[in-house]
Amino acid sequence: MKLGIFYSDLRGNHDMLFRLKGEKIGVFLVGNGIYHATIKEKGEPSPILQKKEIDYYVLSEDLSTRGFSTDEVDSDIKVITYSDLTDLIMNDYDKLAWL
């Protein structure tokens, strides 16, 4: 299964995220999920970014809305637009989930 996961909270369900398995897992950081890509709480990156096998994406429109620029995003995370997001969910993932 190729699974795309939308993550839209700052304090979300990390346990469930890591229990989900598939041949390809992508996490889309949208809404308040963008803080995982920008904030280093106590100097540490977000725990949800620790899985190397996951492809992480962050929505540029939601970054800008909250006062962040793409320069502030961790280099392991790909910054995407709404248009990119549409292409990804139509072409790269079989199933979608919203945590």
* Binding residues for another protein (CB under 8 A): 8-11, 31-32, 35, 39-43, 61, 64-69
Nearer to another protein, 9 or 87 (CB): 9
Nearer to another protein, 23 or 44 (CB): 44
| 78 phi-psi bin (left φ>0, alpha ψ -120 to 50, beta other) | beta
The distance of closest approach from Cβ of residue 21 to another protein in the complex, given in angstroms and rounded to an integer, is 28
Cβ pair 50, 76 in contact under 8 A: no
Going by the DSSP 8-state scheme, the letter that residue 11 receives in this structure is S
Helix ranges, the chain (H)? 14-19, 35-38, 60-65, 82-91
- Closer Cβ to another protein, 25 or 63, answer by number: 63
| 82 vs 85: CA distance, rounded Å | 5
- Minimum CB separation of residue 31 from another protein in Å reads 5
In the complex, what is the shortest distance from the CB of residue 19 to another protein, in angstroms, rounded to a whole number?
23
